Amino acid sequence: MRRHYADQIGWTAHRFGKECHPQMPRNIPIGNGEMLVAFDDLYRIRDLYWPHVGVPNHTCGHLQRFGVWADGQFSWVDSPGWERDLRYKSDTLVTEVRLRNERLGVELICHDAVDYWSPVYFRKIAVTDLFGRPRDVRIFLHQDISVGESPVGDTVNFDPNTGGLVHYKDDTYFLFNGCSTRTWGVDTWATGQKRINEAEGTWRDAEDGMLSRNAISQGSVDSTVGFLLSLPPSGTATVVSWIAAGRDYETLKQLNAKVRLKSAQRMMDRTEAYWRLWACKEPVDYSPLPGHLRDLFIRSALVVRTQIDNKGAIIAANDYDITHFAGDTYSYMWPRDGALVAHALVLAGQSELSRNFFLFCRKVIEPDGYFLHKYNPTGTFASSWHPWIIDGRKTLPIQQDETSLVVWALRRHFDVFRDVEFIKDLYNPLVVDPCNWIMSYRDPNGLPSPSWDLWEERRGTHLFTVAATIGALHAGSRFAQDMGALDRAAEFGEAAEQMRHALLRHMWDPGRGLFARCATSNDDGGYHLDFTLDSSAVSLALFGALDADDPRVVSHMETLRERLTVRTPIGGIARYERDQYHRVEHHDLESVPGNPWVVCTLWYALWLVMKATTLDELRQALPYLEWTLARATPAGVLAEQYDPHTGAPISVSPLTWSHATYMTTVMKYLDKHRRLAAKESAVPSSVRSPNGEST
């Protein structure tokens, strides 16, 4: 994946000056596939995407502040003095956040949700007095919106028809509104300029407990709304705010009327019920796992859902902070990430999402049968650093594993759901054409021609790509067999076997007991081999190039564990030896070959699951699942990688691939446990050893 933005593009954090905020993980994302709202660790909204998951981000990562004024004292909730606990309600995409400030004498319980059906985000805030006396409390919510990711030409105005503030430009409108038990609409407001000359923004107006009530502002603007609450001694008062999105003002009025008719609480309740139904619809037996590992599986599925656009694009990550270091985001659909996430969704029984992904792939695949680098959620070709010409020669700017993995994942989908009518329209564009292209894109030895690796750092013939391509050709052969195209089935199958033999002949070194991670062609027709240990070697077993218990695979994976394990209290497994991406440790390379990654750590666990022949062997994978849980935030969110000494999240968070790999590993574990338990229970007790294993 996109691992060297900073090196290749030359962006560094200092270029953003005072507007460069510290990178913080997106702790509790919520969404419905159309609108995505993401908070940081301090419970500040940082990202607001609509109408697609991933584009555009109407906050550009800027802080959306939340403040409390109580009896003449004020504090933003990201200030010192607040105790914060950011979580979700169990098995839902509704948050449960507790904020407590002893100096102000208040405790807030907040619930956030994006309506499962409409583009409306709700925040319910219940404020409780801790001093035991009547209280005058004011809640202030700040909006730093740049409509369409640009502040140029924005307008914000107070709307007397709805009682809220409207930010708009062109065909994008947002309504910021709310209600309490005694009023409908905001109690007070401010509109003004931001980051123009000396203007900091209207959030400063809130710090004395009063807002200007300026009716309209134009240009680079922001706004703040306020709600006035009266608390009885030790009592509680509640306010609900919402953000509605639409293509025009009339749509905003209709959504606002819908909230008033149905009530915000009812819409939040139905959203909570919907996500609990969605997350738990499949009758999965989680009993072989500790309950906390089951909970992380459900949370992972829900987090993954927040990163998937309703039009089918599976987005790698939506964490705008990465732009401060890279000048770009992860808010794209990489076919590789998407295929591996789709596989996890298939295993979890979420067929609608995997179908939408493959339909998206059909829309964007090139006529010749291959995928380019990455795509926007709208289906257009995204930013790329893969050149179309190298050393004066025309070059395909591709990562071949991306094409192969879509074919492989489509077969996994069909094996589970057997949806023949669905596959019928995808057979040619996503099976026949890609497999024909794969066979045309081979070198004289039968290996894939050079392309970029899965980490997007080097060009050559990569072990991961070879394994994925073998898996794709076998998948194509099985599809062709099903469709009665026996000659095509034989052709694809023979190509897969030829590539397997070429893999063993050219990329396996018996002396080292290792596979090369990359082969680069020499002038004499041979290869220069790179034997750097890379965690992606699990691909040999994962995609069916070789069996998990093949002695060569076992030799390689055992050496991989020995040399890529991070030997600090944090633990985990690094991507590959001497990994430089976001590297923390620069001296002790033997103890810290690289930062630990969730995907890479779980890949090793996945290999243990695939190789296991007894329940005891299977349980060797559990410590890696427990390690993953230990890395998650209290809300259950997983980053891409972690500091090997502190365990702090590094790079984007959440990473869709991290959560999907956890889902895949858990489902593979449960399936293997079921089969091994049935096998072992069938062995007569007379031939069992004292510890229960068969003899």
Instruction: Give the number of residues written for the chain.
Output: 695
pLDDT value of residue 523: 82
| 128 three-class SS | strand
Percent of the chain past pLDDT 90, that is, above it, reads 89
Strands 649-650 and 641-642: antiparallel
Residues 346-388: pLDDT tens digits?
A: 999 999 999 999 999 999 999 999 999 999 999 999 999 999 9
pLDDT value of residue 683: 64
Contact call for residues 594 and 574 (beta carbons, < 8 A): yes
How far from the centroid of its chain's Cα atoms is residue 361's Cα? 18
- Return the minimum-mean-pLDDT range out of 17-31, 310-324, 570-584: 17-31
pLDDT value of residue 328: 87
**Token pair of 237, please?**
């008062």
- Asked if residue 123 has pLDDT above 90, the reply is yes
Average pLDDT value for residue range 201-208: 96
Contact call for residues 662 and 625 (beta carbons, < 8 A): yes
Cα-only R_g, the chain: 27
- Asked if residue 345 has pLDDT above 50, the reply is yes
pLDDT value of residue 19: 38
Percent of the chain past pLDDT 70, that is, above it, reads 94
pLDDT value of residue 509: 98
The neighbouring-strand residues paired with 438 are: none
How far from the centroid of its chain's Cα atoms is residue 511's Cα? 40
Per-domain residue ranges for the chain? 29-279
pLDDT value of residue 327: 79
Beta strands in 255-314 (DSSP E): none
**Token pair of 339, please?**
């295929």
Q: Using 50, 70 and 90 to split pLDDT, how confident is the model at 320?
A: confident
Question: Rounded to whole angstroms, how far apart are CA atoms 144 and 458?
Answer: 40
Residues 644-687: pLDDT tens digits?
A: 999 999 999 999 999 999 999 999 999 999 999 999 888 665 54
**Residue 476: HSE in the Cβ half-sphere, 13 Å Cα cutoff:** 34
Contact call for residues 41 and 27 (beta carbons, < 8 A): yes
Select from 374, 339, 314 the least CA-distant residue to 543: 339
Residue located via tokens 């057997």: 418
Beta strands in 4-105 (DSSP E): 30-31, 36-39, 45-52, 55-57, 66-70, 73-76, 82-88, 95-101
Question: Rounded to whole angstroms, how far apart are CA atoms 17 and 195?
Answer: 13
pLDDT value of residue 21: 44
pLDDT value of residue 325: 64
**Which of residues 536 and 24 earns the better pLDDT score?**
536
What is the signed CA dihedral for 432, 435, 437, 441, rounded to 10 degrees? -170
Beta strands in 72-163 (DSSP E): 73-76, 82-88, 95-101, 106-114, 120-129, 135-143, 154-159
Quickly list DSSP for 234-250: T-EEEEEEEEEEESSHH
Q: Using 50, 70 and 90 to split pLDDT, how confident is the model at 303?
A: very high
- Asked if residue 689 has pLDDT above 60, the reply is no
Residues 72-117: pLDDT tens digits?
A: 999 999 999 999 999 999 999 999 999 999 999 999 999 999 999 9
pLDDT value of residue 172: 98
Going across the sheet that includes 36-39, the strands are 30-31, 36-39, 45-52, 55-57
Contact call for residues 231 and 127 (beta carbons, < 8 A): yes
Residues 431-478: pLDDT tens digits?
A: 999 999 999 999 999 999 999 999 999 999 999 999 999 999 999 999
- Asked if residue 625 has pLDDT above 60, the reply is yes
Select from 601, 584, 588 the least CA-distant residue to 535: 601
- Asked if residue 10 has pLDDT above 70, the reply is no
**Fold annotation for 29-279:** Beta-galactosidase; Chain A, domain 5 (2.70.98)
pTM score of the predicted model? 0.94
- Asked if residue 1 has pLDDT above 90, the reply is no
- Asked if residue 271 has pLDDT above 60, the reply is yes
- Region at 245 (left for phi over 0; alpha for psi -120 to 50; beta for the rest): beta
Mean pLDDT (the chain, rounded): 93
The residues, any chain, with a CB within 8 Å of residue 524's CB and separated by 6 or more, are: none
